Each structure stands twice: as structure tokens, then as C-alpha cells.
Structure 1
């Protein structure tokens, strides 16, 4: 293959209509990197014989070791199509050149954030499915990501060779199997389409209903509107081989084809139009050999005909494998080579490596790169076509709306002219060694430069030798490249020596600099230009993720573009400018962009929203340097890691500990390796993984009062000075309400944000509760307005039923917690005390006060109280609210957040002898006392009921053979997981197992299950939420039966207590552990 030069690729960047930006998405080990290797071989970057072995785009050492992709990496490819056309009797050959910007994304669930960043930069996607494993967990994820980003996909059914060599399927069985996979993928896409249609129609109906209500109000009449659904054309969203958006392939063996390739072959042989053959070569169609007519199965009338896809396509593929791999029949191989007019070298025919012969034959007959790149060019859109479709969703505007300003016109038309505004999106920042940058790369000298350098060195040696005074030095004839005569050099010697001295000085300075400054990490922005042309030295605005054009001075900074790069895998080439529609790297953003952001030449540009992360970080560890004096290096390393990884989060605890949050165990290992070897370059001590828990309560019988004969959960406490008494009742929330609050945490946050924006309060105030979102948000959440949210919340309470306290409870909600957005409620139930509820406060458009009080609705009685300086409950609303937030943030079991608890404030009384005290002084003291008393009342009420721990859970998907099934079950059971479902996948020997596994028990799970099954089972772990461990951590045997079964010492392990004490020990809290637990037990150790 001829090597494609950088100049050819740069030349194509300005031809926007011939650019294709694509990414490869799939489940782990479905063949993404092998496919990309084959595409790279078409450009001469690697040898075609090494495709699938080099894993060129896996540039990290740990990627090569594990055999999985961990970071999305991009490369630009050149593709040329030769087209023939007839002009009269003369055949004219035309060629079209295309630039393919390819991004290879990871398939492992821990690196889903890399899939998000890759799909945002692209207009098309290649979705790979292993035909043996079928549709897997991450296949669903990447299909959803492509749908959300409005990326047009092509389906590649990969590893078809495994159907022949491993499953031993016949061509007919293989067609049925392939058809099922296509149907499964289409079913998934269909659900996304239906969900979008229902959402859009519901919004349209609500808008129509609101318009009708306004109209009825004006006309003083009543009418109703019904929710109806318009029919939508969904024919263009599905994968159908006859349309050319399905590719059948074996990336390892280097072949791929679409239906139209075989239609073109057989059109001439059968005398049938190619367009007709394309429609009948897939599906339930048969060819009548006598009449040359196409029949469907119902017209066969008992005849044993084969489907056309089997007869004309699959049987040919099967015949090649049978002749070369299975039976290795030399005669048949020679016949196939002759009939297909292939050129196979004699040494390949004689080779014992049958795979090499097979690859050589398929590379000529059905080359993979040609089939895939032709499909990319034919079926995936150019930036000019894609941007008017994709950008409305990114900018959150209606597709039907026309662009209203210069920026939107430039974005929608992909305008690359100098007059168009520059708008680019940086999806992630990635780190590279400074020495890998083109400007720092050692330059290779040309032949002329090498000869000149040699001439100067010879002159220097000649000058340094001792010569007699007055004698003219001469050059040796063999060393001269001018002629064979003696040449006086006294005239040019001084100039030459000066030049050489200057060169040697520069070289020595370079050496000194390189010794003083070891290779450092430089951050490059992985970017896509949507409008304009970006140039080196140009000044641009960096718009942060929170940027709003209405407040142009906030979250905005100015930068100068230092460098632009053409992405070529681990290599990069310098560029001076990049026109719209291209994917590129950009330098000079360090300190301005943390993870993602927007670049624009104008502040009027809308912020291109952040990417959707499918997996929130859940696993955290605390870090400290092995040498305490290197703490600054650790802090700097964490800063660099936080910028280089789009998913990792770096925190500093209140205790001063440095903590990182990662998506899973594999992600954690990669981050620690990067810290030690690249960013901090020091030895680091890592704590055991810190897993989040939640604390909750379960209902107890109301007929079991506590020791004071008071209803359980009701606590009355007074402040230390006895001036104030608080009565709180603790009640567990219904499970469906807790789930609803978890699912709509972003709705609560957005309502608060909207209110604060309306009051021109800085959005930084919301950062204190953003952490609460990250581990409780369920992806795909729909943001509701205030009234919709509270109406649905009341419906959830009504569904729970069984308790009168939930009737109209929504009207009295005071606050959510912890951090103002969690799944716990503070409810006002004080007699003769009314305050605006949370719903009314946040739905009101008047000038507000604080969250806990509203000075604009102070009644006359309150004004009189304030005037007389006599404190009332309104003075302490903030303290009550703060006490509730503190209690829900740190529970009594192990200082973990609460979940699913409702606190009713039943009474708040103030009893002060105003004649003998200083009221102003008492008011100040009481403010602090109320906070601590409210917190203590909430925690005490929690403990009076039946407390429980909630465990973070992983949803675990495993594919295993029948032989490995028992060992998989044993490992899951030993780690206290449970099987949800297991079913045999049709047409395969694999069982699909779905299980739930506690995160705290998951560390080392993947390694253990691979070891136990000899690599036959690979688990995928996805965080699924929290689940209650139904075991009281304070339970001890008390009844006669329990004492008889377990003994006084309770020999059975209390799992909840074990987890609770481990967390308490880690946090430095007291535990019930004793050095000697049972001193009366017999000593069994011998004295030495």
C-alpha cells in the first residue's frame, strides 16, 4: 500500500463535502481496534499482515497488556474512489478523494465517558456486534449514545468466521442467526424512537392545552384537548442490509461486504438489474432456477430452495473457509483462486499458515477497508449535511426553527469562510509527553544537510591540527566533493568556523535544556470545529460549561491559539489552520478548560452543552505520598489527572485527605498508574477502596412503644438552656417515593438553579450540593417544572396509601436533604404555624428571601413580635433547616448520608422568662442551640426505629459457556451477589447471566471470575443504585430459640454490623471491637 502523506490529508481538510467524521463503537472485545488496524493498513500506516496484532491506536502500555482500549484516539485517513463514466464511446475515469477522521472509542464499561466524548465530535458511527456473543450490555449503551448525539450509524456484523469455525453453523442456520441479531438491534433503536415521539407529542399536547386554557379564559368558555399521536416515518432509522447500512465482516481475516457488492457481481451473470438484486438478496426471497423469478416462502409449494442470501453469498464464504481452514484441500483452493481471478503467490499456496493464505485471498476478493470506507462515504453524512440535523439538539432548539443570528447560520451551514464566526467544541483534554509534539520532535536531516554538516566538521578538525606557519592547509582529494586539486580555504575558513561554532553552541544549549527539564506532560484539546477557520495565533474566547450569553462576563476567558495538530494516533502533525468540519487537536488551553468547553470568536455563541456521561464515578480511594515531603508533587499530579481524564473526580476531604473517584476497578488501576508514572512521578500509598453506603429505616409496629411509653420515632428534646423544646417524628418514606426522589434529583436542582438565576444570585452557590447528584442520578432523567414535579410526587404518596400522614403532605414540605436535593424530607406539622411550602416558594416569581424564610410575607403578628424582641419560631427557621441538613448528611450508624426518611416537625415551643434575661443575647445563643438540638432529635428518632444499611450495587452482566456456568454462580454467591436472570442465547452456546453484586464485595471480582473460568467469562459491572441490606446492625439474640441456636455470643456473623464498624473504623469513630472478646474461651495456642 502506498503511504499517504500529511500534505494530502491537509489538502482535503478544506473540501468539507468530502469529509467524514466517524467513530467506532461496540461492546468490549467485539473487534473495534482490529477493524481500525485494517483501515489504517489501507493508508500504508501499518502492514496489512499485522492488522489486528499491532493494535496501533492502543498507544498506552496497559492497553497493549490488557488487550482493551482505554482512551479514545483519533486518526485521519485518505480514501480515493475511482468512478467510470461514458462520454460517447469513450470511458472517462474520475476520482473522488475523501478525508476520513476516525476515532476508536473504548468498549469497557469503565470508560463509557470516552464513548461520550468521541460521539460528540462525530457525525457517523460504526456499531460493531460480535455475531457469536450478540447484542451485549455496552451495545445498548453505545446505541443509546449514538441516538442521543444524533449520530447516523452503520451496523457491522463482525466475527462471522466464528460461526463457521467455532459454532459450525450451516449457511442456512447462519442466515437465521444473523437475521435475529439485526432484529434485536432494530428493536433497541425502535424503543428510542418511540420514547422520543411520546416525549415530543406530550410536550406538544401540554403546550396546546395551555394555549386552549388561555383562549377559554378570554372567551369565558370550556373545552378539552385529547392527547393524540401523529404517525412518524421511521423507515430511515432501522438497519436493513438492502439499504446498504449493514456490513457483514470478519475484521481478523480482513474481509467485509455489503449486499450491493454481490448484487453487482451477479447482475451481469443472471441478467437482472442490480437495483432489483439489492432488494432480494436479503430476506425471505428465493430464486426459481427455471423461470428466473423471485419467490417468497409462501409460493415455494414444497420445493426445497435456498434463500438467495444463502445461495449466492454465504455458501461462497463457507466454501473458502472449508477449502482453506477446515479441510485444507489444495485442488479446491486452486479452483477458487482461478474462478475469482485472484493473484496468490506460490509461497502462500505452499505455506502451512492457512490463516495467512485465507487473509491473502479475502484481501483481494472482499477487502475490508474498501467495503467499510465505501459504506462510510455512501451512507454517513458530511459535516455540511450533518450539522443542520445534529446542532439543534445540542443547542436545545427546535429542528424546524431557522437560524436567527450569524453564529447559528455559520453553525448550521458549516461555513468555513473567513467571515464566519469561529465556533469549536473541546470534548476532552488529553495529556501527551512534550517530546512527542511535532515542534519538539528531533528533525531528520536531508542528504544535503548531512553533507554540509560533515564538511563543517572536517574543516574544524583541519583547523585544530598543528600546521606550519605560513603553510596553506589543503583538503584531501578523497574528502573533497568539488575536484581533485588542492584548494586554499583561508578565505572561507573563518566564516565556516564561525558557523560551526554557532551550531555547536546551539546543540550544547539544547543538551543543557534537555538535562534541566525532563519530559513534561502537555495538554491538548480534542476538538471539532463547527464554523469558521481557526488559525495559530488567533484570539478566541473559552466558554465554560456554565456559560450563559445573557451574562457574558462570567465563565469566560480569552486565549491565544498556540498550536494546531492533525491527529494521527499517538503521533501528531503541526497545522497552521483548520477549516470547519474537521476534528483536530489544539494547544494552549491549559488553565482555561478543565474537561470540556466551547471556543468561539464571539461571546454571543451559545455554550455547546457538556457530554452525557453514562457511568458516574462510584469507587473512591484516598491517596498520600510515600514520602510526606512530596505532597506538593501529589497535588500537582492530581490536578493533571483531573484534567486528562473526563470521568475521574478529585476531591479534598474535610480531614485533608486527597480522594479520587473512578468509574470502576479497571479505571482506578489506570488512574493510579498514570499518577505514578506520568503526572506525579512519585510512590503513592493507596487506601482500600472507599465504597459509599446509605442509612435508612424500616417501619416497626406502632404497638411497640419505647421505654417511656411514647410512640416510636417521636423525640422531644430541649436546648441545653431549656429555653426551647423541639418535637420531631421520624417516619420511613414509602419505597416508591424514595425511588421517585432519586430519579428526579436533577429536577430539584434545576428548580433551585432557576430560582437563583431569577434572583440574580451567583450560580456558584449551587456547587455545595452538586456532589449529591453524581451518585444518585439515573441516566435519561426528564427535567420537570415545579408544578409537574409536585403533582407527580403527590401521586406517588397516594399510590403508597395505608397511612393518613401522607395525605396532602406535599403542601407542607419544608426542605429536601442532604445538600438540599436528597431523598429525605423535612415536613412542617406544627399546629397554628403556617409557612410557604417548598413548592410555593420556588414556583413564585416575586422577589424572594432565603430558602428557609420569606421576609415579604411576614404577617402583622410577626412584625409585633420582632418589635418587642420576643423570639418566635420564625426566627429559628434557618436553624431548624440547617439541623435537618446536618442530620441527613451524616447518619448515626457510620456517618453516611440518610435515604428515604421523613422528619415531621410536630412542635416548637419557646419558654423564656423575659424579665430576668437579656433577650438579644439569648437569641444569639439559641440560634446555635436550635441547630444542634434539631440534629440530635433527628438522629435519635432515626435510632428509635429499626435502622438499616443500604449497599451500593453493581448490575453484573456475564456471558459464559455451559461448562463455566457453575463456577460463575459459585463466585457470585461467595461475594454475596444474587442472580437476577440467566438464559441461553439463541443459536449460541452462551448463557447470558444478569446478577446484582454489592460494590463493597466487587474488588477483584473480574480477576477471580476469569481465573475460575479460565478466561471463558468476562463480567461487565455497571452501577445500578442502592439496595437495602435487611439486617439490623444492632441485633443480638434475645429469645430462647435464638439463644439456643446461636448462643449468647451470637456466633453467626452480623454482616450489617461488620460493614458499619469497618466504615466507622476508617473514619476514626468509636467501635464495639474489643481486644479480648471472649476471655472465658479455652486457649488453644501452645506455648513455645
Structure 2
């Protein structure tokens, strides 16, 4: 018979000091659900005889079949505490005066590591935790994991040592051995608590202590339990001592406290004639009951029952053995009573807990209305509710949004703001304003409708599921920030691909995957670019359950699934061996970066949240400087973490005095997030990489440096950084804990060795024949591990694997036939990516090397239009010098950079050119031109260049400018050499062309400026002064409205090209597009040069004249007469698209033929 009604629970909801929100957490199979039955039974929901067998909170059919909890389940129960127990609740915020009733909102959570995301979801909405430990197995790996999670969420624990019946009946431990087992477990739990919490912290003292009653002992299966408080009460009554006084001396029932029954004296040390008080006063009576009943000593049983005031009823009188033992123990020490006292006395109420939990739960300012409401657990404040998970309803495809009301009140029909995890205050993304359809109370496998729920309580909402994926915040405060997103202790590292058996069912599969993603806090459902549907989970069991749910509940169709595969991470092992430059598609912006591996431990610190984006940047920089030896100034300029804004990679601004840098920050960050989420090797997440931005060159006009230009540029630059920093692959590794008898240990080693695992600890569980072996096992080798282990140990070994860390997979992923290379290729194939790694050389370099080595006499090599080969100039020039130096006459290294975003600046050592004695034509990028290079061609053995072509794509601040003296010597030793300089998209270099690039002694014959966006009039003026006897050709080409627009032309000053036509005796070619000039100047140029001007191109658009059409006809006629041939301006209609607009055409299509002209010899 249920002891309460929904109305009674609703009344209790307002008495927030008498509410306890708690989770039951433990390692798998330590007896959580069985123990929970005792409380459910005490509340009258199930019969007491069925407690321990029903597992009421295992609501799913597969949970009952497998005997493990898969989903966390909530249940609300009402209890009354006796007056004698109420006196132990001394904090006024822990109870309402005069109120004996308590509302316990209990969540039973899974113990298997694969479902630990369910534990995280349960902990977020509770304030206390009942930590259950099997006293035979002791503290296991998952005990530590869930306890660590609880402390991180500021959840206060109490400890319950379960399966005491096994210790007495199976292991038949002596009293002292059992005490030592208990003591060891308490110590282990306290060590974990002390590691992750601080007694001086906001929660106060968190450690558990049997003498204070925060530790329970018992058997969930048999339904009995006790704390030292209950035994103290028994002896207080027996010896007529005030129970509170005795409780103050409670320490005498635990620890190093011994009593001599003969002398009636206490001692602190063990002697032959005294006995430990815990054994004497607590264990002795229990052992006597066990001994009398299990050894069928009927007289003793009758006597004991009389002493214990136990009267057997009905059928119980006929029972004996274990059945009688269960009845006696459950009547004498009912587990429900012991648990209730521990929970009510030692776990915090929402009023107490929210005071210290608010600051780590709420992302916004800690003094705003929402934060204060949460801190005070105020039902009259604005609503703040966190949804921690979705619970499927009986209505297919719909979910209850399960969560905790932290402040305010949530009611059926009220309008609220529903904020997803990606919501940013002030923006509308991931934000909905909708009415709450219904408010419900979760009661295990049932739900009950309830009108409203005030702060401090747990409930479910109907109708919210369509606006949230998994989690979110619900509020009525318009300026509210989100509640902090949950951090899971495991990662979804195991993946499986799914497809419907019948292709027509694909829409059902897609819908089913959406529902599956909602129903599980951690599962990821991904659609690859290849169209493949991927489900990612924590382990084999998690995936098995997810696939079963998908097939039977969510999609309801037969499904084909692939073999499970593992998620990897990409990283780097060295600093980038060169500075990486990437140009934007419009050629106007450049980024210079390098990649550096993070020091060991930093990625883990970021994962744990010890270093995170929300930290104060100064204290974070100080921490990084002290612990990881980072430069504090640089560490202060961390732009972001990634992927997803919190991942273990960082982007650092190492620039100095760059203009407009902050304006592109968002775009660079977006590119960084993209690159770290989809790495260059196989589109897996990056891990442990620090990217440094060293320099940025940006266009002055904001329209030319928008996101469309900067984001892909950043991504390509980051990819180049990774490829030049010895990329490596990382694999996930499980910490595997195996329990087995000693005879089976050898079999464990064999299985682990075959699977690349290694054992790092082996120890015997004290007081038992069991051994615990701990090992690291790569997740990729874990499939079928459990079955393999059991077959090799005769079914005696029980493994538990929990994700522990990432480790570098030995080998180079860029070297064929290595393990990482094969993994990368398999992953790329599975994801539908292009075969082979995106090598910087794009597979051109290898065949070319072969040609250079094996050709008999190579005379011409042109890399002029190959971006990738220009990048590898160093290697190729070195090979040419060794194999082809006696025959090579033409070498074209200059690149048009048709894909400039992958361009890498390399230092091309000048000494590489020494072997070339017959070289006549050299095309080279200005990046490599310096005095040392010029000096090489002044040597008698090298002097003889006929054409020297320099391509300028940009100029860096630290470029070693050439000197006039070096050019003078060069000209003397190469008297017949043409010097051709072409500027391509180099709007920064064109500004300093006259001061930093050109020198008076240069033998300049050809100058071309292509799409540089401005005219440098100082340069044009110098042409006729410095190069009057060498200059033969000038091109100035740009898109309309032109580099020299109409409004920039000065009527008073003659065009500098008129002066060039007058002074430069060799001038024979002028191409002016996007260069405005007067008709009179054009006529003057034609008359000064006459027929010697073999090419004279000017566009209609650029001619400025005052006489309308008649004047135009005169111009054409006069220029034709002067040149002695038919001449007319270029028709605007026939020009290349890029001349009309850089957004329409591809400038490289125009530039490429011009560049190739320079190579035509």
C-alpha cells in the first residue's frame, strides 16, 4: 500500500528544507537497484517481501533480463522521520520546524561504464549521492569514476557497504577481517574524496565517517542494513543512557577503540583480553544471529528473537536457513530505515546545496536575478530549470524533458524561454519561447500529472522535447544565461555504421536516429559526407543497447550494421619545420602560422576544465607559465580552444602591431574550429596542438577580408601547419580492471598481450582469494575482449573497461605500410574522402625526382604554374645541381600561385645555384632573391644569364632587400641579361616597389603589375630616370574601376608614361588596363615612340577626353598616324571577365598566359 498521494508530495515540494535530491551511484553489479528496492518498499510502493528481487527502478525489459541498469530512473517518495532522529538534523536549513515529513527524490543510475553519461545526467539534478560499494570486491574503477564526477558537480556523498551477507556466508570472514575490509573501503573512498575536494571548500567536510553515521553497512538483497547510530540507540536504551550523549561517544564504536569485558575498561590498543568495540557491540550480535540460524540452532534462535523483540508471523515461523535469516535480519535492521536516516540527516537539502552549487552551475554573472534565485532556491524568483536528459514516453517519438527546477516555479501552460546549449545571450540562435504543455512527476516506470513544481524539485515536462536535442535551460528571465553544459567522464569512441535493410525505409532510419540522439545523453548520430549514417557510443555494450533501441523503438525497421570501428585523434609531434603562409582566394590577405605540440598533461587539463576558455586570462596565463613553461605574454593572447570552443587545442596570437587583426578574429576562430573538428589526415578531431599566428597581412578595405575569404584560408593554413609538423594519429585506450582467482591470472596476461595491452598493476583483494589485474588496452583491440578473456580463464575473469586516455599510435601516418597509414586510409575510404593523404606535393614530386635523376641531359625545367612544386623548390634545385648542372639552360621556379592558399615560404639557399654553369634563364620568386643569390651570378663560372625573371607575390617585413651595389656587379657580369619583374596580386609590394624592390643599377627591361589595385606613380616616374636605356615593356593591369581611377588623374601634371616614352629609347610595349589617362597623353606617347611602339593597348573605359565622339575619332586617327599602322582602343565588351569585376572572373586565367610569355625563350 503506497504511503502517500501525489497531493501530499505536492505539499512537501514547497517545504524545500525537507527535500533531499539524491542519486544512487556505484560500480556495476554492486547492488544499487537491489538496495533502492528497500527504500521503495519502505515508501509502500512494493511489498517488503519482494524488496531486493523486484528492482523497481529497472524499468526496461532488457534491464530486467540482463540484471543491469541501463537508464537512470527517478522516483519521488514521501517518508516521515521519528522525533528521535530529527534531533540529529542540527542545521536549520536542513529541516522545517515542526515538519517530520521528507520528500526524497531518488535517481537510480547505471554502474556500467558504458552508461556513465546517465550518471552525469543524474548527478546534475541531485545534491547528494549514496555511494554503494560491494564489501567483497571493494572500491573498483567505476566507483572512483562516479565518485570523482559527483565531487566535480559538488554532490555530497554518503557511503553504503553492500553484500555483507556474502562476506559472512560465502567468504566466512572473521570479525576482525571484516572490520579491516570495511576500514579499507572507507579509507579508499576518503582518499578519492580528498583527491578531488577540499575540506576548506564551499561544501565543507565531505569525507565519510562511520562514527558520524554517514556510512551504512548491510545487504540490499536480504533487505537489512544499519549505521552505527542505530546500534548506539540500542545500547542507549539498554544501558539507560541519553542517546545524544552516547552518540557523542559514538567514535568508541569505530576505529582503534577496545573494550575489556572483565575489567569493564576501554583502551586505545589491542591486548589479549580486550576486543575491538565495533566487533564486540556491532558485529558480534549479527554473527550470533547468522550462526544460530544458518547452523539450525533452534533454541538459540528462539532466545535471540526474544532478546531482539522479533515476533515471527504466519508462514515465517516455518522458515529456516537463509529464508529465515532474511526475515529476521530485515525485521531487526530494516534497510529502508537505515538508508532514510542517512539520507535525511547527512545529505543536503536544496536550500543548503544550491548556495555552493550555483557558481559552478550558472554561466552568467553571479549577481544577476537568475543567479541569486538559484543560490537562494527561491520559488518566487524567475524560473531557472536545467533539462539533463530526455525520457521516452509511451507515445512513439515523443519524450519527457527530465530536469531540476533550481529557482522559480514551472507550471502547466506557462510561457518560458527554452535555451539550447548553443544559445548565446543577446542572440536568437537555439532559443524558443513556447508554453509548457504539461508538468509531470517521475515515479519509476510510471508518471503522475502535477499542476506545478517549485524550486528545489525534480520533474518532467511535456512538449519541450521538440525544441531541445538532449539538454538545455528553461527560464522566464529574459537576460538569463545558460546553465553549464555537463562534462562526461567517457567519450563516444566506438562507432558503427547503420543502414536500413530495405532502402525505402531510409526516412524512418533518419527519424529514428534523431530520436536515438535525444534518448541518450552521450550517443552521437552523425551523417558522413559519403552519406553514411554513424552511431558513436562509449563501448560495445552501449552500442548494442543503442542499436536495439533504434531497431525496436525509434526507427522500428530492420537494420544492417557494420563492424564497430574506433574514433581516432590527430596530433603533431614536432614544431612545423617552416613558416606556413596561406593567401585568401582574392589574393589580398595572408596568414603566417606554425603548429607546435602541447606539453604532456595540458590536453588532459583542458579536458578536466582546469584550463578553460572561461578562466580569467591573466590567471590562466600564469598557470600555463608556471606549470608548462609557456611565455606568459603569449599565453594571455589565447584566442580560443577547439573544437567546439572547449577542446584540447589552442590558437595563440603571437603577432605584434598588425592592423585590422581583431576584425578578422571571428573568421580565423571559425576556421580554427573547422580545422580542429576535421583534421587533415582523416577528418578526425585534433588533440594537443597549439597553433601560433605569427603575422597577418590584410587588405585595408573590410569588404575584401570577410568570412568567405578568411575562414577557408585559415583552415588551409592550419592544415599546412599540421602536415609540416610531423603529424601523428592517436588512439583511445581503456583502463581495464579484471577480477579473477589466482589460477586465472596467467590467462589474462596471454589475452592482453595478444591485443597490444599491458598490465601495470596486479594485487590481491585482502581477505579474499580474488586478484585484481589492471591493464591498459587499446579500444580498437577491445572488441570481443570479454568473450576471449572468459574462454581463456574458464569463465572466471570479469573485466570492466573504462576510457582512460589517448596515446600516440606508433608509426608515421604519411609512410605507406605503417599501421597509422593503414588506419588513415581505411578511415578516409569509409568517410568517402579522396584516396591518399593530402600531401603538400600532391604526388607530383616523386615522379619529378625520378625524371631529374635519370634524364640524360635535361635542358629546360619549368615549375612556373605548379603551386606545389614551387613549394618544393629546395629539394628540386638540390637534385638538379647534383644530376643536371652541366646541361640545364632554363630553370623556371617562379610560381603563378594559382592556388596561393597552400603556398609555403621556404628558404632557398643561394649556394644551391653554384653548380649551374650553363644556366641562361632563371625564373624565381622574390622570396628567394637577395644579395647572396646575385653574387652567385657574378662568378666567372656562373656569369652568363640572358634572362632573369622575378615574380613578386608579396613582401614580408623581414625580407632582405637587395642592394644597388649587388645589382651593379650583377649587370657587369651579365651584360646581355634581361631583367623582368612581374607583380602579381601584390598590393603590399606595389606600395614599396620604388623604395624596397627597384634599384638604379638593375638591368630592368620589363615591368608588369597585374591586379595590384593601385598605381605607384613614384615608380613610374623613376622608370624614365633609372632605366632610360634598358626599359622595353610596361604593363599595368587591374579590374575596373581601375588601379588609377579617373578621379585620381591630375590635369596639371604630365602622365609619367609620357616621360618614359620620351626618355626610354628601348620602349616598345605598353599595356594599360584599369589605368585612366587623357587622350592627349596617349597621342603624345604615340608620337614620341612612333612605329617603335610595337604594342600599345588601352581600353575604351580608361580614356578621358572632353570632345565626346568627335574627339574620340580624332584620337584614333592621330595615334594610327603616329604609329604608322591601324590602331584602336580595346573594346570593353571583348575584355576578360575579371577586368570587369574580380568577383566574376578568375584572375589566374588572365595572368597565366602573361607569365608563360616570360618563359618563352
TM-score interval, smaller chain: 0.5 to 0.7
| Equivalent residue, structure 2, for 1:381 | 348
Residue by residue over 1:648-684, the C-alpha shift from the partner in whole angstroms, topping out at 9 and shown as x without a partner, is 1222222222222212221111111111111111122
**Aligned match of 1:254:** 223
For the residue of structure 1 that corresponds to 2:181, the secondary structure is helix
Distance 1:6 1:41 in 2: 17
Matches within 5 A, 1:132-147: 132-147=136-151
Structure 2 CA distance for partners of 1:261 and 1:740, relative to 1, 3 Å = closer
1:666 matched to 2:527: no
Deviation at 1:306, TM superposition (A): 0.5
Counterpart residue number, 2:164: 160
Compared with structure 1, are the counterparts of its residues 9 and 698 closer, same or farther at alpha carbon in structure 2 (3 Å cutoff)? closer
Residues 422, 714 of structure 1: alpha-carbon distance in 2 compared, 3 angstrom cutoff: closer
Aligned to 1:58: 58
Give the counterpart of 2:386 among 417, 422, 425.
425
Task: Give distance in 1, aligned partners of 2:719 and 2:417.
Answer: 50
What is the deviation of 1:956? 1.8
The answer to whether residue 1000 in structure 2 is matched with residue 1000 in structure 1 is no
**Distance in 2 of aligned mates of 1:16 and 1:161:** 37
State the partner residue of 2:361: 394
Question: Judging changes above 3 Å, is the alpha-carbon distance between structure 1 residues 543 and 692 closer, same or farther for their aligned structure 2 residues?
Answer: closer
Distance 1:291 1:790, change over 3 A: closer
Separation in 1, partners of 2:372, 2:683 = 54
1:460 counterpart residue number: none
Over 3 Å counting, the alpha-carbon distance change for 1:656 and 1:1059 in structure 2 is: closer
Q: Which of 361, 374, 395 is the equivalent residue of 1:411? A: 374
Q: 1:569 aligns with which of 425, 437, 444?
A: 444
Alignment match, 1:308: 277
Partners of 2:692 and 2:152 lie apart in 1 by: 41
Greater shift, 605-614 or 570-579, is seen at 605-614
CA distance in 2, matches of 1:718, 1:546: 30
Q: CA deviation at 1:296?
A: 1.7
Structure 2 gaps of 5+ residues are 86-97, 698-702, 838-1161
Structure of higher CA gyration radius: 2
Q: What pairs up with 1:817-896 in 2 under 5 angstroms?
A: 837=654, 848-851=662-665, 889-891=678-680
Partner of 1:974: 754
Matching residue of 2:409: 533
1:343 aligned onto 2:336? no
1:682 to 557, 570, 573: 557
DSSP 3-state at the match of 2:393 = strand
Deviation of residue 555 (structure 1)?
4.0
Mapped to 1, the partners of 2:676 and 2:460 lie a distance apart of 48
1:128 Cα deviation from its structure 2 partner: 0.9
After superposition, what is the alpha-carbon deviation per residue over 1:392-418, rounded to whole angstroms, capped at 9, x for unaligned?
Answer: 4323699xx8x664x4554344344xx
- After superposition, the Cα gap between the structure-2 partners of 1:177 and 1:121, relative to the gap in structure 1 and judged at 3 Å, is same
Mapped pair 1:112 → 2:111: no
* Deviates most, 635-644 or 145-154: 145-154
Cα root mean square deviation, aligned: 4.5
* 2:1081 alignment partner in structure 1: none
Separation of aligned partners in 2, 1:256 and 1:157: 9
- What is the alpha-carbon distance in structure 2 between the residues aligned to residue 939 and residue 688 of structure 1? 30
Measure the CA separation in 2 of the matches of 1:307 and 1:998: 47
Q: What is the distance in 2 between the residues matched to 1:429 and 1:884?
A: 28
Question: Is 2:260 the counterpart of 1:285?
Answer: no
Report deviation, 1:105: 1.0
Q: CA deviation at 1:1017?
A: 3.2
Q: In the alignment, is residue 359 of structure 1 matched against residue 359 of structure 2?
A: no
Deviations 1:600-629 (A, max 9, x none): 233244432222322222222222222222
> Could you tell me whether the CA contact under 8 Å between 2:363 and 2:483 is conserved in 1?
no
- Alignment-derived partner of residue 1114 in structure 2: none
Secondary structure, counterpart of 1:107 in structure 2: coil
Q: 1:440 — aligned with what? A: none
SS for the counterpart of 1:851 is: helix
Q: Quick one: distance in 2 between partners of 1:81 and 1:852?
A: 58
User: C-alpha offsets along residues 756-792 of structure 1, whole Å, 9 cap, x if unaligned?
Assistant: xxxxxxxxxxxxxxxxxxxxx3465555454555666
- Measure how far apart 1:693 and its partner are: 2.9
1:554/1:183 CA distance change after superposition, 3 Å: same
Higher mean C-alpha displacement, 68-77 vs 259-268: 259-268
Return the alpha-carbon distance in structure 2 between the equivalents of residues 334 and 107 of structure 1: 40
Q: Is 1:368 aligned to residue 331 of structure 2? A: no
Kindly tell me: are residues 1071 and 80 of structure 1, through their superposed partners in 2, closer, same or farther at Cα, counting changes over 3 Å? same
Q: 2: distance between equivalents of 1:727 and 1:411? A: 46
Q: Is 2:830 the partner of 1:1066?
A: yes
Provide closer, same or farther for how the CA distance between residues 151 and 949 of structure 1 changes in structure 2, counting only shifts above 3 A.
closer
- Of 422-431 and 130-139, more deviation after overlay is shown by 422-431
Preserved CA contact (<8 Å) 1:649 1:661: yes
Structure 1 match to 2:525: 650
CA distance in 1, matches of 2:555, 2:510: 8
SS of alignment partner, residue 188 of structure 1: helix
- Cα deviation, 1:874-898, whole Å, max 9, x if unaligned, reads xxxx89x979986995445x56566
Q: CA deviation at 1:589?
A: 0.4
For 1:807 and 1:579, locate their aligned partners in 2 and report how far apart those are by CA, in whole Å. Answer: 47
Q: What's the offset of the Cα at 1:998?
A: 1.3
Name which of 251, 260, 263 aligns with 2:232: 263
How far apart are 1:74 and its partner, in Å?
0.9
The 1:898–1:409 alpha-carbon spacing in structure 2 relative to 1, beyond 3 Å, is closer
The CA deviation at 1:850 is 0.8
Q: Does the aligned pair in 2 maintain the 1:728–1:938 contact within 8 Å? A: no
Cα offset, 1:647, TM superposition:
1.0
Question: What residue is the counterpart of 1:36 in the other structure?
Answer: 36
Counterpart Cα distance in 1 of 2:234 and 2:728:
69
Q: How does 1:385-784 map to 2 (within 5 A)?
A: 385-395=352-362, 405=369, 407-416=370-379, 419-434=380-395, 520-547=396-423, 551=426, 553=428, 555-694=430-569, 733=596, 737-740=598-601, 742-743=603-604, 777-778=607-608, 781=611, 783=613, 784=615
